[in-house]
Chains A and B, each alone.
Chain A
Amino acid sequence: MRKGQNPAKAGVKAHQPAQLGIATLVYIPVLEGYFDQSLEIFKIHLTSVRQNTAAQFDYWVFDNGSCPEVKRELEKLHEAGLISTLILSEHNLGKTGALNQMLAAMPNEWICFADSDMLFRPGWLEACWKINQSFPNCGMLGAQIIFPDWEVDKGNTQFRQTPDARFVFSQEKAPEWIATEYCRARGATEERTQVYREMLLDKVRSIQTGAEAYLGGNSHQQFLARRDVLRQILPLPSGLQLSREQDTYQDRRIDELGYLHLTTCVPYLYHMGNTIDPEIASEINRQQAEEGRAQGMSKAAHKPPRGWKQNLLWKGLARLSRIPWSRRLLLRLYNNLYEIFSS
């Protein structure tokens, strides 16, 4: 039975959500192999979001069934006040399955989603606001250039044909450093890199504000959108852990609903992937230093190469692994171990 009066009934004000909510998904089933540096990379991502977001925001993390060590670490970050809302899922619901829950639940007027391996750079939010204010009916805004490789992802179908004289359309190649950085971050082949260097990107400029944007899609790594727009495209199909096709469903729906899908003309994001690139180590270390050690965030930096790759046993194994049958066997073992430890 009730003893006493619940102190929460005393009329204390409840916390109100910020206008902007930034959300990410974490899935680190093991701290080995592909995921060896993933936790450190997530922390770098978190630092970069905090350092470079010029507005109050709530920060949401959906942990999609990571291993206990990662969940404990996330809880510590939540306790330290670095994560506003932490959702822990027992199982991996797939990327889109998790997005269905998180994006539907977030109460913020504007929602930014980013993969947990995206490094944010200064000015990303200001650039997105400027685009939003300069072009009509924006649905999704990206803070990085995307080199489209699927025609269907391009979006903005109606806008391309607009007779509105306030907007000027053109095509241009991205500066070479942008294409190079984009491809390096994604481990693209030299052949693919060359394709992107030559690719013509569709650009739009607002005569009134001078703002420029690329007409682009492929928002699965990061997007900024109004909550009421996102509500119109949920739920996303969610049958697989990670699927390119399910990921791009949102881009197609945004286009079908007649919203614009635009990106900045400068990459305000960097895809870190699962290792720290030496080329951006100094940028990361600078951000980490600014964040300060007081927050208790570990200072992540890329790890030195491991010495064990030099020993004889390793060299023998490496030779063996190139034989087709042993390669098949080892990869099956690798996938089976992944299945065991990721569920």
Chain B
Amino acid sequence: MRIGQNPAKASKTVEQAQRITVAVLNYLPFVSGYYAEGMHVLKACMATARAEAGLPFDLMVFDNGSCPEVQDELVQLHQAGEIQFLILSEKNLGKGGAWNIIFSGAPGELIVYADSDVQFFPGWLARSVEILEIFPQVGMVTARPFRQRVEINSYTEEWGRTTPGVSLEEGCFLDWETFSSFVFSLGTAEEQAREWYETSHDTRLTYHGVTAQIGASHWQFLTRKATMQAYLPFNMDRPMGQVRQLDERMNADGYLRLMLPVPFAQNMSNTLPAELRVGKTALKPRATGSFFRRLANLSPVRRVLLSLYDRVFRLYN
């Protein structure tokens, strides 16, 4: 039976979620072989997302049935205040299944999705949101430029060519370094990459003084939660390969698909980049709360105060 009054009923305020939720999907079924550096890569993803994002956000990590060692570590990061919402799934629901949960449940009005191997660079979030808010009817904004099949961006290109006030430019805007750093991260051979570089081009739009490259991709993007609801639920049959349809469907539905014109994100894949290997990815717990709150949470002080709290409760109940 209930004894006493639940103190939560006396509380007048409640924490509100940030306007932006950054959701990272993780799956490390073991910590060897292909996944040997997976946990370091995930930590680098989280740390670089947090570093100078330019706007506040809540970090949500969806763990899609990783091994216990990984889930333990994620709980520790959550306890340290690095992850605001941690979702641990017992089984792998596939990327589509995880997306169904993330895009339905994430509390932010704006949602950034990222695979767990994305490395971010300072300013990435503010720049992405700028494009989302300046251009009309934006479906997806990816935080780096790269070249894509033109078919999945046909609507954006048509919009750029036909809308007054929009300047559309075509050419080779990505230098070889920027182009190759991305395609090499996918394991592409140099010869193949050179051929792609020479036979494709970039298309850029400028609108109200803001420039964006045409294209976006399902591995990392910013979107509005309301926009995504029309695309749910995703097919959940297989662990991977079911989410490419989002690129095609957004294009077909008349949403703009845009990228930042310079790289604010990079694909790490399953190995940690050299510059992040030397102790740079250590996650520092954020100091939260006032001095008194932190003092009260010191172990011996906390014990004494909680004992006092317990005694007062029992006095009145």
Q: Is B6 an interface residue (CB 8 A)?
A: yes
Q: Which of A193-224 contact B (CB under 8 A)?
A: none
Task: Decide if A71 touches B90 in the complex (CB within 8 Å).
Answer: no
Q: Is A331 an interface residue (CB 8 A)?
A: yes
Report the separation of the CA atoms of residues A63 and B153 in the bound assembly, to the nearest whole angstrom: 41
Residues of B within 8 A of A139 (CB): none
Looking across the interface, which residue of chain B has its beta carbon closest to that of A335?
B10
Task: Decide if A8 touches B27 in the complex (CB within 8 Å).
Answer: yes
9-residue interface stretch from A96-104, A121-129, A142-150, A254-262: A96-104
Residues of A within 8 A of B307 (CB): 32
* In the complex with contacts A75-B71, A341-B309, A273-B85 CB distance below 8 A: no
Report the separation of the CA atoms of residues A11 and B92 in the bound assembly, to the nearest whole angstrom: 13
Task: Decide if A340 touches B305 in the complex (CB within 8 Å).
Answer: yes
Q: Is A163 an interface residue (CB 8 A)?
A: no
Task: Decide if A75 touches B75 in the complex (CB within 8 Å).
Answer: yes
Task: Decide if B1 touches A79 in the complex (CB within 8 Å).
Answer: no
Q: Is B302 an interface residue (CB 8 A)?
A: yes
Looking across the interface, which residue of chain B has its beta carbon closest to that of A6?
B34
Task: Decide if A107 touches B97 in the complex (CB within 8 Å).
Answer: yes
Q: Is B137 an interface residue (CB 8 A)?
A: no
Residues of B within 8 A of A6 (CB): 34, 240, 270
Task: Decide if B8 touches A102 in the complex (CB within 8 Å).
Answer: no
Residue of A185, A277, A342 near B8 (CB, 8 A) is A342
Residue of B93, B233, B289, B311 near A14 (CB, 8 A) is B93
Q: Is A248 an interface residue (CB 8 A)?
A: no
The residue among A16, A32, A97, A243 with the most chain B CB atoms within 10 A of its own CB is A32
Min CB–CB distance A167 → chain B (angstroms): 35
Task: Decide if A184 touches B1 in the complex (CB within 8 Å).
Answer: yes
Task: Decide if A105 touches B105 in the complex (CB within 8 Å).
Answer: yes
Report the separation of the CA atoms of residues A270 and B87 in the bound assembly, to the nearest whole angstrom: 29
Q: Is B81 an interface residue (CB 8 A)?
A: yes
A-B CB pair tally, cutoff 8 Å: 258
Residues of A within 8 A of B10 (CB): 335, 338
Residues of A within 8 A of B314 (CB): 33, 309
Min CB–CB distance A341 → chain B (angstroms): 7
How many positions in chain B have a CB within 8 Å of any CB in the partner chain? Answer: 84
9-residue interface stretch from B144-152, B156-164, B180-188, B248-256: B180-188
Task: Decide if A9 touches B296 in the complex (CB within 8 Å).
Answer: no
Q: Is B94 an interface residue (CB 8 A)?
A: yes
Report the separation of the CA atoms of residues A331 and B289 in the bound assembly, to the nearest whole angstrom: 23
Task: Decide if A335 touches B237 in the complex (CB within 8 Å).
Answer: no
User: What range describes how many residues of A lie at the interface?
Assistant: 35 or more
Residues of A within 8 A of B291 (CB): none
Looking across the interface, which residue of chain B has its beta carbon closest to that of A243?
B9
Residue of A102, A238, A274 near B14 (CB, 8 A) is A238
Report the separation of the CA atoms of residues A6 and B271 in the bound assembly, to the nearest whole angstrom: 12
Q: Which of B232-259 contact A (CB under 8 A)?
A: 233, 236-241
Task: Decide if B107 touches A1 in the complex (CB within 8 Å).
Answer: no
Task: Decide if A88 touches B240 in the complex (CB within 8 Å).
Answer: no
Residues of A within 8 A of B312 (CB): 33, 321, 330-331, 333-334, 337
Looking across the interface, which residue of chain B has its beta carbon closest to that of A317?
B315
Q: Which of B89-145 contact A (CB under 8 A)?
A: 89-94, 96-97, 100-102, 104-107
Task: Decide if A104 touches B86 in the complex (CB within 8 Å).
Answer: no
Task: Decide if B71 touches A78 in the complex (CB within 8 Å).
Answer: yes
Min CB–CB distance B90 → chain A (angstroms): 5
Residue of A14, A65, A84, A87 near B238 (CB, 8 A) is A14
Residues of B within 8 A of A337 (CB): 305-306, 308-309, 312
* In the complex with contacts A238-B14, A274-B4, A12-B238 CB distance below 8 A: yes
Residues of A within 8 A of B187 (CB): 1-3
Task: Decide if A185 touches B91 in the complex (CB within 8 Å).
Answer: no
Residues of B within 8 A of A168 (CB): none
Task: Decide if B2 touches A92 in the complex (CB within 8 Å).
Answer: no
A-B contacts, 15 of them at CB < 8 A, read: A1-B184, A5-B34, A7-B29, A11-B238, A32-B307, A32-B310, A36-B310, A78-B88, A85-B88, A85-B101, A101-B85, A106-B101, A107-B93, A277-B1, A333-B308
Further contacts, 4 of them, CB under 8 A, given A32-B309, A36-B313, A85-B88? A16-B236, A34-B5, A34-B313, A97-B16
The residues of A with any CB-CB pair to B shorter than 8 Å are: 1-9, 11-17, 27, 30-34, 36, 65, 68, 71-72, 75, 78-79, 81, 83-94, 97, 100-102, 104-107, 184-187, 238-243, 271-275, 277, 309, 317-318, 321, 327, 330-331, 333-335, 337-343
